[in-house]
Chains A and B, each alone.
Chain A
Amino acid sequence: MTAMTVTPVPRSARTAAAAASVLGIAALAACGGTSAPPATDRSYADGTYTAEGTYATPETVETVSVTVTLADDVITAVEVVGDPKRRESEEHQALFIGGIADAVVGRDIDEARVSRVAGSSLTSGGFNEALELIKADAAE
């Protein structure tokens, strides 16, 4: 059972127990949701347990901290906290962001009077050739 990855540590000393997988944490939380006893013969001492896990998203390496409270081998409380570093990081990032819009309105290249267009690199063929094809497609 994945709940085994939780090691008893004092709540204040959040040691970097890096091994807990996100899957393990999800399974643990599910146990808490149903208040079912852990499916194991082992018995845990009552108390509060904290584990931290990390996982990589495409953009960041995230850390989550899970704190569970056990009484008679039943999880009575679960607290999942995202990585505060990420939130600070987002606030920090916000200093460097001028604005954001939910709705961008595309305009036809023909209407916009631009001398050239920048997007992803063309992989082959000519710029004008491709642009003509695009215009031909758009004209249909």
Chain B
Amino acid sequence: MDAAHVWEFEAIGTLWQVMTGRPVPGGVRRDVAELIELFDRAWSRFRGDSLVTALARGAGSVPAPPDAAAMLALYVAASEATEGAVNPLVGNALAERGYDAGYGFADAGAQPAPADWPARLTWTRASLTLAAPATIDVGALGKGRLVDLVAGLIGDGVGGPVVVDGSGDIAVRGTTERIGLEHPYDAARIIGVWAVADAALCASAVTRRAWGDGLHHVLDARTGEPVRRIAATWAVAPTAMVADAVATTLFFDGGPAFAHSQRAQWVRMFTDGRVEWSPGCTAEVFVRADSVEA
């Protein structure tokens, strides 16, 4: 969007950018900060005072955070679509590979996440319960959910066009954004452009949250091993939570069918450089014409 007011801040370990037609009032900024703090205190496995840390330490049952039902229901669908590759109890597996709360980055090997997670992790309106201690990691869709929540608050508080960019998870309301699809191996280049209007685009790539010997933050929960076949994914959906979830499932075989079920469009790039996209995809992908197969 042009001639916008830009508000930048850091939260949940990354940079956020909010663009609006008029400045965001101080009261709305405080509301956004409080919203993010509450979300983080519920879901961050990186802080000692969060609900998921309490559950990891054996609390058993905690008061359900407001987003538990929406997020975990989508996790069920994503997990089924990927035959278990997506799993919200993957936190211990990530920590074992070195992506732990202390950012130790010391690899202790592959550890699958509990395949029977829907039996272990249950929720009601009132409570969130783990039958045995485990570490919840909502990385597959949590940031998208938070982007939706922030965009909602900004929209209510400011009105007019709104763009909320949580560093790769982007909600666009009342305007159109031309968003470049970053080349996973060359951040100075893009492999396409997507014009997004009144929807959300979420991106995921294995190249930045990476450490050690081929290790990065997208693990197959069934094996505890990092994915090797897909380098980057992008999805567009009505909400950032859905786009984020679809972008995650696209690292696995079940991703395209899941995207279809969620009415999402997508582009994904394989580690060998090939690029694939959804039927009727509106992204402009820069490909050599003679290399395309319908």
B249 to chain A, nearest CB (A): 11
Q: Contact mask A90-109 → B, CB, 8 Å, 1/0?
A: 10110111111111111111
From A10-18, A30-38, A39-47, A116-124, give the one contacting chain B.
Answer: A116-124
Q: Contact mask A120-132 → B, CB, 8 Å, 1/0?
A: 1111111110100
Chain B, 138-181, CB within 8 A of any chain A CB: 143, 163, 165-170, 177-181
Q: Of A89, A98, A108, A135, which one neighbours B278 at CB under 8 angstroms?
A: A98
Residues of B within 8 A of A105 (CB): 191, 286-288
23 contacting pairs across A/B (C-beta < 8 A): A56-B223, A59-B252, A95-B257, A98-B281, A99-B292, A100-B274, A100-B293, A101-B274, A101-B276, A101-B287, A101-B291, A102-B274, A102-B288, A103-B273, A108-B188, A113-B178, A116-B165, A118-B170, A118-B201, A119-B168, A121-B167, A126-B8, A126-B15
> Are A104 and B191 also in contact (CB < 8 A) when A56-B223, A58-B225, A92-B257 are?
yes
Q: Of A89, A103, A107, which one neighbours B189 at CB under 8 angstroms?
A: A107
How many angstroms from the CA of A118 to the CA of B8 in the assembled complex?
16
How many angstroms from the CA of A94 to the CA of B187 in the assembled complex?
30
A-B contacts counted at CB < 8 A amount to: 197
Q: Does B67 contact A (CB under 8 A)?
A: no
A contact set with B: CB distance below 8 Å: 56, 58-61, 89-90, 92-93, 95-109, 112-128, 130, 134-135, 137-138
Contact between B190 and A106, CB atoms less than 8 A apart: yes
How many angstroms from the CA of A101 to the CA of B208 in the assembled complex?
24
Residues of B within 8 A of A95 (CB): 257, 260
Q: What's the interface size class on B, roughly?
A: 35 or more
Residues of B within 8 A of A117 (CB): 179-182, 190
Residues of B within 8 A of A119 (CB): 168, 181-184, 187, 203, 205, 207-208, 232
> Are A93 and B253 also in contact (CB < 8 A) when A118-B201, A121-B14 are?
yes
Contact between A122 and B167, CB atoms less than 8 A apart: yes
